[in-house]
Amino acid sequence: MTKSIVAIDLGVGGMTCDDCVVHVTDAKSVAGVESARVDFDSRGAVVTAQSDVVAEVLAAAVRTTGHYNAFERRRRAVSGE
Protein backbone atom coordinates (compact mmCIF):
# COMPACT_ATOMS: atom_id res chain seq x y z
CA MET A 1 0.00 0.00 0.00
CA THR A 2 1.33 3.45 -0.88
CA LYS A 3 1.15 6.00 1.84
CA SER A 4 -0.68 9.19 0.97
CA ILE A 5 1.31 12.38 0.57
CA VAL A 6 0.39 15.62 2.29
CA ALA A 7 1.55 19.18 2.06
CA ILE A 8 2.12 20.70 5.47
CA ASP A 9 2.16 24.50 5.75
CA LEU A 10 4.41 25.59 8.58
CA GLY A 11 4.80 28.99 10.16
CA VAL A 12 8.48 29.63 10.76
CA GLY A 13 9.86 32.17 13.20
CA GLY A 14 13.33 33.52 13.79
CA MET A 15 14.55 33.79 10.19
CA THR A 16 16.44 37.02 9.52
CA CYS A 17 18.21 36.35 6.22
CA ASP A 18 18.64 33.88 3.37
CA ASP A 19 21.19 31.90 5.39
CA CYS A 20 18.43 31.16 7.86
CA VAL A 21 16.36 29.77 4.99
CA VAL A 22 19.18 27.36 4.20
CA HIS A 23 19.42 26.27 7.84
CA VAL A 24 15.71 25.73 8.18
CA THR A 25 15.59 23.81 4.90
CA ASP A 26 18.10 21.36 6.43
CA ALA A 27 15.27 20.17 8.65
CA LYS A 28 13.93 18.21 5.69
CA SER A 29 16.09 15.28 6.81
CA VAL A 30 13.14 14.08 8.92
CA ALA A 31 12.07 10.57 7.88
CA GLY A 32 9.07 10.64 5.60
CA VAL A 33 9.72 14.15 4.26
CA GLU A 34 9.96 14.31 0.47
CA SER A 35 10.65 17.99 0.00
CA ALA A 36 10.68 21.25 1.89
CA ARG A 37 10.39 24.77 0.52
CA VAL A 38 11.14 27.57 2.96
CA ASP A 39 10.04 31.09 2.11
CA PHE A 40 11.72 33.94 3.92
CA ASP A 41 9.19 36.63 2.88
CA SER A 42 6.12 34.78 4.11
CA ARG A 43 8.02 33.31 7.08
CA GLY A 44 6.67 29.96 6.23
CA ALA A 45 7.51 26.61 4.74
CA VAL A 46 5.69 24.02 2.72
CA VAL A 47 6.77 20.48 3.52
CA THR A 48 5.66 17.60 1.35
CA ALA A 49 5.68 14.43 3.38
CA GLN A 50 4.05 11.13 4.02
CA SER A 51 0.79 11.56 5.87
CA ASP A 52 2.08 9.95 9.06
CA VAL A 53 4.69 12.67 9.55
CA VAL A 54 3.50 14.75 12.49
CA ALA A 55 4.04 18.47 12.74
CA GLU A 56 5.66 18.22 16.16
CA VAL A 57 8.54 16.21 14.68
CA LEU A 58 9.01 18.74 11.88
CA ALA A 59 8.84 21.62 14.38
CA ALA A 60 11.41 19.92 16.60
CA ALA A 61 13.71 19.44 13.62
CA VAL A 62 13.43 23.11 12.71
CA ARG A 63 14.18 24.17 16.29
CA THR A 64 17.35 22.08 16.39
CA THR A 65 18.76 23.89 13.34
CA GLY A 66 19.26 27.12 15.27
CA HIS A 67 17.22 29.86 16.85
CA TYR A 68 14.14 29.04 14.85
CA ASN A 69 10.61 27.99 15.62
CA ALA A 70 7.96 26.22 13.56
CA PHE A 71 4.36 25.25 13.96
CA GLU A 72 1.72 23.71 11.73
CA ARG A 73 -0.74 25.98 9.96
CA ARG A 74 -2.48 23.63 7.55
CA ARG A 75 -2.17 20.19 6.13
CA ARG A 76 -3.73 19.17 2.84
CA ALA A 77 -3.74 16.04 0.75
CA VAL A 78 -1.54 15.97 -2.33
CA SER A 79 -2.09 12.38 -3.47
CA GLY A 80 -4.44 9.63 -2.33
CA GLU A 81 -3.85 6.04 -1.26
User: Residue 53 Cβ, how far from other proteins at the closest point, in Å?
Assistant: 16
Nearer to other proteins among residue 52 and residue 56 (C-beta) = 56
Binding site for other proteins (CB under 8 A): 11-15, 43-44, 56, 59-60, 63, 69-71, 73
* Cα-based torsion angle of the residue sequence 71, 74, 78, 81 in order, rounded to the nearest 10 degrees: 90
Residue 6 CA to its chain's centroid (Å): 11
User: Residue 52 Cβ, how far from other proteins at the closest point, in Å?
Assistant: 19
Which one, of 20, 21, 69, 27, lies nearest residue 49 by Cα?
27
13 to 10, 54, 70: CA distances (angstroms): 10, 19, 6
User: Residue 69 Cβ, how far from other proteins at the closest point, in Å?
Assistant: 4
Nearer to other proteins among residue 18 and residue 81 (C-beta) = 18
Nearer to other proteins among residue 3 and residue 43 (C-beta) = 43
